[in-house]
Structure 1
Amino acid sequence: MFEFCASPDTISGLTWLACFLTTGVQFKFYLSFGTVLLLLAVTAPTALLFGFIGASASRSAFFPFRWLGKLYTSMVRGIPDIAFFLFFVVALDQMLEWMRHKVKCPDWDQPIRNGAEFVVCDAAKLPLSSAPQWQHEVYGFAIAVFTFAIVFGAFAANVLYGAMRAVPKPQIETAEAYGMSHRQSFWRIIVPQMWVYALPGLSNLWMILIKATPLLFLLGVEDIVYWAREIGGSKTARFYDYPHPDWRLWYFLGLLVFYLAMTKGSEMVLERITRKLSQGQATLGAEAMRKT
């Protein structure tokens, strides 16, 4: 903050705005953009890993694996995202605390579930009540990332399963005729070629993931939506150094520009990746590139 911002009541105009935009609360709003970008950077590969495992299990010859893979994709895709987020986060948090409670407090004689209340010993809480604030924030963010990965991994599994089936079957038969095992043909033939078929679906899934990041607000993470609502709301001089009317329209307009920029940048990157993967492939996109 600038030196002339020490007395907010004595400044006005652009000077007042400069002071307002450099407060500690505003910097938390700026840092929350990094939270969203970090969520995307961690969730995307994690969801892709879950999707690959789910798709591989769905095409497995071993019935229990195939059943689990199809159950995962069907169940998660059939539940509304908001309902799954609100339920799964609470259920996962309570499950972890219950497991810790059984280990750390074996002599506990009180009921853990008492109506709507869930009570465990202090040593079993995650994180501990005495833990610093950054541990609470990291724990909440990790739970959010895992929840996002579970949900979008199910959609990715469906996309990758279709992409695996789209690889020309004669290539797989040729590989097996040359002596490759089922596992070798999977890793050497199917996996390298499936990405060009999966990329359109994964591209749409990436766009949906970008649009879903405001759900962090529902999971208790202080993201850009949380701070835009908090800072942009009407503030009075009683409890705020820089009182202002309701500015949420402008803050959310800034978020609109941010998400549009993210979408446009993603489209450009994904288009280049598609062109790179399509080279030499027996697809309509590759055929159009060859003719050009």
Structure 2
Amino acid sequence: MFASCADPSQLEGLSWLLCYLTTGKHLSIYVSVGTVLLLLAITAPVALAFGFGGAMAARSHVAPLAWFGKGYIAIVRGVPDIAFFLFFVIALDQFFEWLRHEWKCPDWDQPIRQGNDFVVCAQAKLPLSTAPQWVHETYGFSLAVLTFAIVFGAFAANVLYGAMRAVPRAQMETAEAYGMSRRQCFWRILVPQMWVYALPGLSNLWMVLIKATPLLFLLGVEDIVYWARELGGSKTTRFTDYPHGDWRVWYFGALLVFYLLFTRLSELALGRIMARLTRGQATMGGEAQRKAG
């Protein structure tokens, strides 16, 4: 990357290390850190939206909708994450390709299922083989976001469903006595107060989501754990200008520090949000703030 790094054999000490850490390969691990942060930034609100929708469906008075919401929560929570990630992404990808196949190739006369192969016309492939590399990477990342959102949305739905039930019924009855409709009671009374009860569970879910990011490798996305393993392995002069032994312990140690710092910052931010939400609320946190004041 730097002109002084042109001849690695002439470098020693910190100069060698600086040039080593700025090679093109190492830029990949720095980019993968941004990929993980972007995944978290997108997945968290999408999963929360899935969870809110699932919780609303589970408490619905319409039986089929309630069955759907409770079934979504039970099924996704009951399946091991790694099995869900391995199966669901393949099924989702094939479902999208099947929809495109039915639309773009209505005259196709061959079976789509041919033994263990899933065969669609070339126009229906996602993404197209002629598409640039960034399209393939964006498509894989989008599938990862959707999969993470569905999985963690089920856990969020369970947390929000319990939080909705924790809001005192007397407050809902009081709102109804003042002439509020059921929708007004839900949005003006129930939803603002449920977050106080939901935040501890959502905080734990956020921490689990952070720890689950290494599953990106199962979805074909090169994450920081993948690059730590690749870059930390033994390298000889036959394959690289910067030979070294097995340095995986140092790479994974750096990942340990990264995740610990990130989770610590998350704890501090969530603590401030919790203090804000419990202010003036009739909860243990709100009562503690009132006594401290």
Q: TM-score, normalised by structure 2?
A: 0.98
Question: Equivalent residue for 1:149?
Answer: 149
In structure 2, give the amino acid aligned to 1:137.
E
Cα displacement (A) at 1:10: 2.8
Q: What per-residue deviation string (whole Å, max 9, x for no partner) do you get for residues 37-87 of structure 1?
A: 101100000000000000000100111110100000000000000000010
Moved over 3 A (4+): none
Q: What per-residue deviation string (whole Å, max 9, x for no partner) do you get for residues 91-136 of structure 1?
A: 0001101111111122222221111111111111111111010011
Q: What per-residue deviation string (whole Å, max 9, x for no partner) do you get for residues 239-265 of structure 1?
A: 212111111111010000000001110
The unaligned stretches of length 5 or more in structure 1 are: none
Question: Equivalent residue for 2:69?
Answer: 69
In 1, Cα distance between equivalents of 2:99 and 2:119 = 13
In 2, Cα distance between equivalents of 1:224 and 1:102 = 38
Question: Equivalent residue for 1:177?
Answer: 177
Q: Identity of paired residues, percent?
A: 72
Cα displacement (A) at 1:4: 2.0
Helix, strand or coil for the counterpart of 1:236?
A: coil
Residues paired across the two proteins, number: 292
In 2, Cα distance between equivalents of 1:137 and 1:152 = 22
Q: Note the 1:18-29 alignment, pairs <5 A.
A: 18-29=18-29
Question: Equivalent residue for 2:14?
Answer: 14
Cα displacement (A) at 1:142: 0.5
The unaligned stretches of length 5 or more in structure 2 are: none
In structure 1, give the amino acid aligned to 2:206.
W
In 1, Cα distance between equivalents of 2:66 and 2:172 = 20
Question: Equivalent residue for 1:260?
Answer: 260
In 2, Cα distance between equivalents of 1:196 and 1:279 = 10
Q: Note the 1:205-244 alignment, pairs <5 A.
A: 205-244=205-244
In 2, Cα distance between equivalents of 1:15 and 1:258 = 24
Question: Equivalent residue for 2:92?
Answer: 92
Question: Equivalent residue for 1:282?
Answer: 282
Question: Equivalent residue for 1:249?
Answer: 249
In 2, Cα distance between equivalents of 1:206 and 1:60 = 26
Cα displacement (A) at 1:148: 0.3
In structure 2, give the amino acid aligned to 1:72.
Y
In 2, Cα distance between equivalents of 1:151 and 1:85 = 9
In 2, Cα distance between equivalents of 1:95 and 1:199 = 35
RMSD across aligned C-alpha pairs, in angstroms?
A: 0.9
In structure 2, give the amino acid aligned to 1:209.
L
Q: TM-score, normalised by structure 1?
A: 0.98
Cα displacement (A) at 1:284: 0.8
In 2, Cα distance between equivalents of 1:158 and 1:21 = 44
Question: Equivalent residue for 2:41?
Answer: 41
Question: Equivalent residue for 2:58?
Answer: 58
Cα displacement (A) at 1:281: 0.7
Question: Equivalent residue for 2:5?
Answer: 5
In 2, Cα distance between equivalents of 1:203 and 1:33 = 22
In 1, Cα distance between equivalents of 2:193 and 2:133 = 46
